Amino acid sequence: MADIKNNNAAPAFGEQNKHEALILKYKNVIIGGLIAIIAGVGIGFFVKNCSTEKFNTASTDMAKAQEYFANAVMTNDSVAFQKALNGDSINAGFLAVIENDGSSKVSNLAKLYAGICYARLGNMQEAANYLEQFDDKDDAMISPAALGALGNVKASLGQLDEAAATLIKAADKADNNTLSPQFLIQAGEILESQGKKAEAKELYEKIKTKYVEWQRYNTIDNYIERVTE
């Protein structure tokens, strides 16, 4: 332990530990409850937009890949997430949909699913690549959920400034009592890990003043107290 402490004569060993703990946290609970939101809303989003497109091979493959994805979420099985990504000997997966269907709505949504699959498989860089390619458009639920997922991935990669900014953007885009406080707390925790207590406090106080309904079931005072100097 002493060797680790003195490595590179790091003056802020405690801060480094905070960063590592935060990255591990986000890697272990990547996306968290948002995966259910994206899974449910995403399927609805696809069905809604299918009526405007020709029902072709791509949409059929997408529907099957979504079935694989739903099973992967239920079982939390890495093999199932691989199957959703790559398909099997009978059906294509999300990656084939992306490759074969260009820039259509079907392919766009497949990028979001692919990003989630990679995140659950622990390949955070590929997760970020696909989540950044996803065009979130203006869907009231899926857009902020996608941004929140990207923020979690950025945090797990140690890209803390980008992670916090993305989560704040996701909170603003959601602007509701369900998602916004979660994103703002995540962003606040990242800022705390960087020693930016004043910025974190600003986010926590925003939750207290703006998202009153959320506080019926939760408390923000403890967060505010620990960053008050």
- Report which of 220, 128, 221, 144 is spatially closest to residue 180, judged by C-alpha positions: 144
How far is the C-alpha of 66 from the C-alpha of 114, rounded, in Å?
Answer: 10
> How large is the greatest C-alpha to C-alpha distance in the chain, in angstroms?
65
**How confident is the prediction along the chain (229 residues), in pLDDT tens digits per residue?**
333 333 333 333 345 566 667 666 666 555 555 566 665 655 555 555 554 444 455 678 888 898 898 888 888 899 999 999 999 999 999 999 998 876 677 888 899 899 999 998 989 999 999 999 998 776 677 888 889 889 989 998 999 999 999 999 999 999 999 889 989 999 999 999 999 999 999 999 999 999 988 888 888 999 999 999 7
Torsion of CA 36, 79, 60, 91, to 10 degrees: -170
Q: What is the pTM of this model?
A: 0.81
Please name the residues in contact with 70: beta carbons below 8 A apart, sequence gap of 6 or more: 39, 43
